[in-house]
Structure formats: C-alpha cells, structure tokens
Structure 1
Amino acid sequence: MSLIFESVSIQKNPNVTATHVLLVGCGEYPHLAAVGFGGLKSLTSPQLSAGAMANWFLSGPDAMPIGGLPPEQAFHNPDAPLGSLVMLTSPEAPYQAPFGGEFQTTRPTLINIRTAYSEWLARLGSNPNSRGVFHFCGHGVSDGISQYLVADDFGISPDDPWSGVFHVSNTCQTTIRKTAASLFFLIDACMELSEDLINEIDTPKALISGQRNGPPQTTEWAVLRATTANRLAFAPNNGVARFTNALLKALRGHCGKQRAVGVGFDVGVSELRDATAAFLEFSQQSITGEHQKLGMAGGEGNWTVAMHVQQRRPSVLVDMDVQPEGYRPVACAFMEDTARRRESKELTNGPVQFVKEQGEWSYGTNAKNNVYAEQYYGRQFLTSAVHTCRFRIP
C-alpha cells in the first residue's frame, strides 16, 4: 500500500501512542459504463479531497523535517502525534508531499482497500490512547437504512458488480471489536437510495469479517457523514468536495473546547461536526439548487477524545453585509474589541469577512457622509465557527 509517512517513533516502537490515518479517494471508476447502475459516473473530487486531507495532516511539525505549520493550519496532537499516513486514490497519480518527495498512490480497488484497512487496524493495535482516522471520498449509495461505499473497481465483474461495495456500519461494528484505539470515520459520499442495491439478493459485506456478539475493545468512536439518508453529497468539478472542504476549514482554527488539563483546545467530534456544518452552509450561500445537509454523527462514547488540538482560542468567521445591496458603495462594516479598538471594511464589493477569536465583540455598520444611521450591536458573545449578519437599512 502507499505509505506516504511513517514516524521515527513508530519505526522504533510500533506500539507507541500515535494517530494513524487512512485516506481513500475513489474517482475513476473505469467499469461503470459496462454495468450502468444508478447513473453513477467518474468523479474528479475524490483524489483532490484525499490530497487536501493528506496535506493538512502532513504539514504539521510531526511530518515536516524542519518547522511545520501551526495548529491553526495543520494537524497537531501532543497526546497522539502523527504515526502513519496511507493514501489510496484514483486516477493513480503521484502525490507531492509537503515535506518533499513524490509518492505513487495505490488504486482503491476493494481488495486494496481491504488490505490497507487491515494494515491500518494492525498499526492501531490494542493501544487505547492511539487514534485512527479513516477518510473516504467517492461514490456512496443507500438501501434506505444503511450506507454502502463504492470501490474503484465496481463493475469489474458484470455478473457480480456489487462485490465492489462495502457496508459502512458493519465495517465500524467489526472494527470496534478489533482495536482499543479511538476511531474517527469521515465519510464524504452520497447516501442516495439505490433500487438496484435494494433488489440485490446478497447484501455487500463489511471490509473485514467479525462477530456481532464480541465485546467492543473501544467505546470511543464516531462516524461523521457528508449527508443524510437518501440524499446526495456534492463537489465542484476539479475541486475538493464540499464536505471535505468544510471539514478542513473547521479544523483550521475554528473549533475546539478548552482542555481539562494543559494548554489548548481539544477538537473532538462534537465540536468538529458543528463547525463543519456551519462552514458547509456558509459555502453554499450563493449556490442555486439543492443544498447539502450534513449528516448526524453516529457512534458511541463521550466524544471528548481529541482528534486534533488547537493551541489558540478558536476563531469565528464573521460575515457582514447590508440590505438593500444598493447601499454597498457607501457602507462600511466594523468590529470592536472590549477596548473599543475598531476595525472597518468597506462593503463596496459585497460582503466582508472578519476572523476573530471566540469571545465578546461589538459590531455594526455605518455609512459615508452619514447616508444612514449607524447600526451597532454591543458586547455580543460569538462562539460559533461562522456568524453571518445582514444589516437591514430602513
């Protein structure tokens, strides 16, 4: 498999506490035309989405030989440093790592995903302090209840095309009986209802086999899905998928909870889900047509285990504009801290954004030559990842 990174600590002691990452981006699907199921087609976003996730994990100090980006821009977890990162993508193309070097990724056929997944589990082992992150971007379908993910060789066998599909929930249930590590499943795929799947006699299996009656080794695990049951997930052509893009924006300094011990802010599933939902909605403000709605997080545990740790207080993206839009040429938006220090931005070219630490802020709008009276919201407590304000001018 395509092992892009392995830490020196893991090389010396494979059982040391670490974060192990498995990224899968299925986009080529060369056999879809032969079977013609459900209008599925090749995708451009999965490879780019997997690469964007890899860049975030590998740009921090754990993987960079010198320096690395701060926690507001790249992965950081002092309790479980980055131990390994494996990436499977299609079309198969070299991946340029932030620390230098070119790596050929492995094609995500079902057998290759199974192999990489088993190796990922072996790396996680029985260490309850380690973290496992599994990110999948590609086609997904649903039977109305469960989600199934589609490997890149779907349809290679016309007599049994669904042999290239695996069951998400059953994979999770098997996995939690194989490792004691905390687990994060990030699924960037559709959950569109597939009548072809419903009409199949045999149901696609999990990635690994296991028994339902075994006691879980871990009770700290979560699945965060890009969308809800029977709905689509979206992506721009030749761009990162909407869910992955929102997820990365959330991780770059916009969520976290004060650590119980030590300095910093833990980013667990609860904080990550809320911030990702906010950025997903914000990114779709100007998009016409159906908006993607983030799925609810599933799993079990208190969800206080940190996947990522911020060093600074999380930031809020404050987006401001005036209505009617005809006032924009004379309008300004502003924000003030508790010391009444003001930062202003003109609205001539449309909405403006401020990035400020969570906390107490005052903000408002005024106009050149006092065309309209100043609107002012004093001492507002801003804690969400995104705060949007539209000032209505009388």
Structure 2
Amino acid sequence: MPPTVFSRNVLGAATRALVIGVGHYPSLPGGGGPQMQNPEGLKQLESPPVSAREFAQWLIENYRSDARPLATVQLLLSERHPAAFAYQADGAAVVATPQEANMATVKQAIRGWYELGNHNPDDLMLFYFCGHGVSEGALTALMMSDFGSEPMALMEGALDFHRFHAGMEDCQARHQCYFIDACRLPSTLLRRFDHAGDPVLQPGARPSPDGRVRLGPKFMSTLPGEASHAQPGKPSLFTGALLEALNGAGAGDEDGGDWIVKTNRLHAAMEYLVKEIIAEKGWEVGQQTITDGMQDLPLNTLERPIVPVSLTVTPKEAHIEATWLCTDGNGIDLQRDADLSPWNFRVPVGSYRFQASFSSPQYAQLVRNEIVRPPYVLRSLQVMTA
C-alpha cells in the first residue's frame, strides 16, 4: 500500500482519495531555490496547503457512504513551513505526516492510488489538486513543487491532467471524480512545447476493463483563460464551495428519502456558492465552476443537510432598514440587524419562519414561511406599504 495519512480495512467497495496541495514552489519568485528564468507571473501561494488539508480532514471526519466507505487518504503537500496533519478518527486524535508534493513523489502516489482502485470495479476514486495550473486549448498543466527547477526541461514538474485522466480509463474502478482547484490562464510554455507535462499513466489497450462505462466527472474551479481566487489563510473559493456542497447544498432525497450528495447536484450548488462569496466581497472576477461530465454519481450521505439561504427585501429602501428573524420553533433562532447586504446564512433542512421588521412606519412587517432544502434558498421578498 502507498503511504497514507488515513487507512482502514473495508470489505467490498471502498472510496479512495488522493489529495495534493502545492503552495511552495522553490523555483518561483520568493521560493528560495534556483529561479526559473521566466515564471510568467507565477508566484508563491498560500491557499493550496490550507485547502488540501481542509478537504482531507473533511473526508476523514465527515464523509459517509454505506456503499463505499472511506478506505484510504493520501495527502501530499508543499508548504513553506511543513507541518503535521491532525484529525479526529473514531474518537481519537491522530497526527500524520503528509508526503512532499514534488513530481517524483506525486508519480508514485498516483500509481499507488491507481493500484488501490484496480481490484474492485465498484470502488470510488477521488482526486483533488490545488495549486498552480495553466491551460492552452485542450492542454492543462498542474504544477507540482519542483516545477521550473530544471532549465532544460521546464515541464518535468507538471502533470498533464488531460492525459492523466485518460490513463485512468484503464483502472478497474469505474467510478472516479476529479476536483481541480487551479487557474486556467494561458501559457507561452504550453504553446511552445505543445505538451502539458508528465501524464504519469499511459493508456493501455483495454479501456473499460470489464465492459462498464467509466464515470469520471471533472470539476474545474474556473473557466478556460480565467484565474481562481482565495482569501488569505482560508480555503479557496472553489474548495470552500465544494465542502459546503458536500455538507448539504449538493444533496437530494429523490432516492427513497436518504439525503445523498451527487455529482450532478454538486455542480449547481458550487456555482451558486462561488457566486455568493464573490458578490459578498464585491470582487469583479470571472471565476465560475465548470464540470465536464454531469453523471449521476453518488458521493456523501447526510442525515440533515446544511442549506445556504439568502434573503433580501424589495424595494431596496426597505431592505436597508430591515431587521430579520429566522426561526423554526425547534431551537433555531437567528437574527440580523439592518444592513445593506443580503442576509446570507446556513440552516439545516426544514420548515422556517422568516420575519422582517422595519424602522419606518411606511413598511408593514413581513412574514414568510418556507421549506428550506438543497441546493439553496434565494428569496427577494416584496414588502407592502403600511
């Protein structure tokens, strides 16, 4: 078995995750190593190690699937100050050591991950990357920590994502899901060399090993030609949205009553959540989640999903002075004073009473009863004049 930060024995089908977060690049400006001659604006990153740690920790502590329990998590990080990885499992605190996210170690990790999933066609393979990326046409390069360290072969430290994904077609595990949290800005390197790095896996002669079609959706953090964004010290916009969607916004109960997060619902939830935080921050950016392959692939199972809610009042003059209450008659009692921005909050799925009161006597109190369920509740409520 390849080195893991988490593993448990699972009989039958299992979920197996490979998580990579690259923030420290020695050959990019400020990295402390021999410098790449033309880094094309690439620099050190703060968010990827934070984002990858959060995603790996969430998987270990929160992921639930009766059909395919979590069996392994491989975690590879590149950070300026390497640190241990801590989490809670089965009521105990665990401290593990991530691997280094250089290309040689990533290659071994990918091949080990492939072998773990190459025994049961019902396994679910999760791949997550956060770090530098560039795109040109169909080419997408994901940069590992040693990218640019070899002047004679600059792309040696990059993963050719398109060909890597194609190589996973031969893995017996027929269920695969890829989360790529990286910029997709154009690159003269890709134009010059016409390849995006090392594919690690070479497609063989037997795609679809048991005759079953592979489900392998790819979630990309942004459009081609656009950058991905983050806040200092926090998970990126994409990863934050992904975790919220996995916690409930991407869930549905159409399959007999259980709340199950599926890939087709995940996309709608993440797109909303990324736009929500961009609007909150007032950023003028073009980040938008893109999904290639909208298959109905089940992921996390939840007892009671957490749902994003956003409330405003029209006209705008009334919203500015609205004082809000949200209650469910069963212990949830939220309130907000008057504010210019929409009231964005999270509550478990259920029945709620939304109430807006106004300081001006010209506006009548507004009451609305709502069923809150995924993917989100977005309401602009019309107030009547008193």
Q: TM-score, normalised by structure 1?
A: 0.83
Task: Look up the match of 2:40.
Answer: 38
Change (3 A) 1:344 1:298: closer
Alpha-carbon distance in structure 2 between the residues aligned to 1:370 and 1:344: 24
Task: Look up the match of 1:238.
Answer: 233
Change (3 A) 1:250 1:209: same
Alpha-carbon distance in structure 1 between the residues aligned to 2:349 and 2:48: 32
- Of 268, 273, 281, the residue aligned with 1:274 is 268
- Of 187, 193, 197, the residue aligned with 2:190 is 197
Whether contact under 8 Å (2:238, 2:289) holds in the other structure is no
Whether contact under 8 Å (2:366, 2:383) holds in the other structure is no
Question: How far off its partner does 1:212 sit?
Answer: 7.2
Q: Which moved more, 1:251-260 or 1:237-246?
A: 251-260
- Of 350, 353, 366, the residue aligned with 2:357 is 366
- Structure 2, unpaired ranges of 5+: 30-34
Change (3 A) 1:232 1:370: same
Alpha-carbon distance in structure 2 between the residues aligned to 1:391 and 1:342: 24
Task: Look up the match of 1:102.
Answer: 95
Whether contact under 8 Å (1:94, 1:102) holds in the other structure is yes
Task: Look up the match of 2:32.
Answer: none
Secondary structure of the residue aligned to 1:121 is: helix
Q: What is the RMSD of the two structures over their aligned residues, measured on CA atoms?
A: 3.1
- Structure 1, unpaired ranges of 5+: 60-73
Q: Does 1:52 align with 2:21?
A: no
Alpha-carbon distance in structure 1 between the residues aligned to 2:370 and 2:19: 43
1:309-324 equivalences under 5 Å are 309-312=301-304, 314-322=305-313
Q: Does 1:112 align with 2:112?
A: no
Alpha-carbon distance in structure 1 between the residues aligned to 2:273 and 2:7: 31
Alpha-carbon distance in structure 1 between the residues aligned to 2:78 and 2:197: 22
Change (3 A) 1:128 1:293: same
Change (3 A) 1:44 1:182: same
Whether contact under 8 Å (1:277, 1:294) holds in the other structure is yes
Change (3 A) 1:326 1:20: same
Whether contact under 8 Å (1:365, 1:374) holds in the other structure is yes
Change (3 A) 1:289 1:352: closer
Whether contact under 8 Å (2:314, 2:380) holds in the other structure is no
Task: Look up the match of 1:20.
Answer: 16
Whether contact under 8 Å (1:332, 1:346) holds in the other structure is yes
Question: How far off its partner does 1:269 sit?
Answer: 0.8
Task: Look up the match of 2:251.
Answer: 256
Could you give the per-residue CA deviations for residues 107-164 of structure 1, whole angstroms, max 9, x where no partner exists?
Answer: 1111111110111111112312211111000000001333211111101111111111
1:204-223 equivalences under 5 Å are 204-211=197-204, 214-215=207-208, 218-223=213-218
Whether contact under 8 Å (2:25, 2:145) holds in the other structure is yes
Task: Look up the match of 2:337.
Answer: 347
Task: Look up the match of 2:6.
Answer: 5
Identity of aligned residues (%): 22
Alpha-carbon distance in structure 2 between the residues aligned to 1:198 and 1:104: 38
Whether contact under 8 Å (2:172, 2:208) holds in the other structure is no
Q: Which moved more, 1:359-368 or 1:284-293?
A: 359-368
Length, aligned pairs only: 370
Question: How far off its partner does 1:278 sit?
Answer: 1.1
Alpha-carbon distance in structure 1 between the residues aligned to 2:380 and 2:338: 16
Whether contact under 8 Å (1:253, 1:315) holds in the other structure is yes
Amino acid at match of 2:27: H
Q: Does 1:183 align with 2:176?
A: yes
Change (3 A) 1:213 1:3: closer
Secondary structure of the residue aligned to 1:297 is: strand
Alpha-carbon distance in structure 2 between the residues aligned to 1:127 and 1:76: 19
Change (3 A) 1:19 1:381: closer
Question: How far off its partner does 1:50 sit?
Answer: 0.7
Change (3 A) 1:286 1:159: same
- Of 69, 86, 106, the residue aligned with 2:74 is 86
Q: Does 1:127 align with 2:120?
A: yes
Change (3 A) 1:75 1:348: same
Alpha-carbon distance in structure 2 between the residues aligned to 1:224 and 1:206: 18
Alpha-carbon distance in structure 2 between the residues aligned to 1:238 and 1:290: 21
Whether contact under 8 Å (1:336, 1:361) holds in the other structure is yes
Secondary structure of the residue aligned to 2:249 is: coil
Alpha-carbon distance in structure 1 between the residues aligned to 2:280 and 2:261: 29
Question: How far off its partner does 1:330 sit?
Answer: 5.0
Q: TM-score, normalised by structure 2?
A: 0.85
Question: How far off its partner does 1:172 sit?
Answer: 1.1
Task: Look up the match of 2:146.
Answer: 153
Alpha-carbon distance in structure 2 between the residues aligned to 1:283 and 1:38: 28
Whether contact under 8 Å (1:328, 1:347) holds in the other structure is no
Change (3 A) 1:150 1:212: farther
Whether contact under 8 Å (1:142, 1:191) holds in the other structure is yes
Secondary structure of the residue aligned to 2:170 is: coil
Amino acid at match of 2:193: E
1:316-335 equivalences under 5 Å are 316-322=307-313, 330-334=321-325
Whether contact under 8 Å (1:53, 1:248) holds in the other structure is yes
Q: Which moved more, 1:221-230 or 1:165-174?
A: 165-174
Amino acid at match of 2:335: K
Could you give the per-residue CA deviations for residues 20-77 of structure 1, whole angstroms, max 9, x where no partner exists?
Answer: 1110001101012411321101111111001101111111xxxxxxxxxxxxxx2111
